[in-house]
Amino acid sequence: MALTGFPNFPTFPNVWQGTDRSEKKNGTKGADQYFGMDGNDTLYGAGGNDILDGNRGNDKLYGGAGHDTLTILGSDTLSGGSGFDFFEVVGIKYDQRLPSNSSVITDFTAKGANHDVLQLANFDFKWKDRDGDLSDGFSFQRKGKDTLITAEDAGGNVYKILVKNVLPGALTTKNVQLIDKPGFNLPATAEPGLDWRGTKAANDRVGTRGDDFMLARGGNDTLSGLGGDDTLNGEKGADRVYGGSGDDRIYVSGGDNVRGGAGEDVFVFLSHAKFASMTDAGLGHVRDFRAAEDRVELTLFGLDWEGRDAGLEDGWQLRKVANGWRVDIADGDAGRISFVLHTKAEALDESHFLFGFA
């Protein structure tokens, strides 16, 4: 289960999500997927075909060896490394203003069989609009040995991408692609997944048959993943989340009601004390926990299976209740967080829980 909205890449054995702090993460020889969240993060992919998403903040992304995908949001510095790579910018089609977007691609390869690709998704302009000014929302400007690409989305956000050591004449429709939604080298029979980020208001969003990534942020949201291996996160608010078919990764906090649907799903509970800007305290519900397939991930609590006895002296407790199993977790200054796994299972064991990071 990959934490990504970019479908048809290999399964990622090494998935990591950051916090609202500035963090550094080093990759492995395999395929890594790193999602930086807030803060000015530094992410290294190393080997393998990696996906690096710094999200908000002024991030530094280094793909390393392999065919990597690096997303641009904020004022980032990006280096794809060896192998052909994808650089992705996703525009917003509604009125939402983002922080400064002025990024640099340090090692873009424009020519040859292994050339890189810059993908501009969700923009309304066309290739012919790329003149020297921004009157049509799209411009190429020579800056010495470099090219400054400027794009404006429907929400009024302006994205500036400085492509180092590449002149405008070397950029063509083969290495700068205008697409409707994110998706990389998809087979003709595959449906691209959705890469979507909501607002602080209440959002209602339905996914696709592909591998969707939905991050709703604030508000009492309703997210439906439909098919594919989706990643769904309502963040703050009393959210309703439906995974649908596929092996989904669903984030849950206080006030949420979620259903994984068919497939082997992972329900992720984050520390509210450490992720206060993205989670809620209180009681959450997993309405269809299927013990034979599903798992619970408890991230950044410092827990282990042996600490589940009655009371919170060892950090958490697991106890049988009328409609399933209830988990209570001591969560620093935030007090406690709790959730109920609605299930007919008469017992849960260590195999049902993943203890992610101390």
Question: DSSP of 13-27, one letter per residue?
Answer: SEEEE--SS--EEE-
Identify which of 199, 226, 194, 260 has the alpha carbon closest to the alpha carbon of residue 6: 194
- DSSP β-bridge partners for residue 14: 32
Per DSSP, the three-state class of 161 is strand
* Other CB atoms within 10 Å distance of the CB of residue 229: 24
Residue ranges for the chain with pLDDT beneath 70: 1-13, 93-97, 99, 181-192, 334, 356-358
What is the C-alpha separation between 292 and 172, in angstroms, rounded? 51
Per DSSP, the three-state class of 184 is coil
Please report the pLDDT score of residue 187 as a whole number: 34
Q: Do 28 and 77 meet the contact criterion of CB atoms below 8 Å apart?
A: no
Distances (CA, A) of 192 to 1, 212, 234, 241: 16, 8, 21, 21
What is the C-alpha separation between 80 and 68, in angstroms, rounded? 7
Percentage helix, strand, coil for the chain under 3-state DSSP, each rounded to 5: 5, 35, 60
Please report the pLDDT score of residue 6 as a whole number: 35
At 31, list the tokens: 């395929």
Per DSSP, the three-state class of 148 is strand
What is the C-alpha separation between 32 and 72, in angstroms, rounded? 17
Per DSSP, the three-state class of 350 is helix
Q: What radius of gyration, in Å, describes the C-alpha atoms of the chain?
A: 21
Please report the pLDDT score of residue 356 as a whole number: 57
Chain segment 22-63, per-residue pLDDT in tens:
999 998 888 888 888 778 999 999 888 888 988 888 999 999
Please report the pLDDT score of residue 190 as a whole number: 41
What is the C-alpha separation between 54 and 71, in angstroms, rounded? 7
- pTM beyond 0.75: the answer is no
What is the C-alpha separation between 232 and 263, in angstroms, rounded? 15
Please report the pLDDT score of residue 97 as a whole number: 66
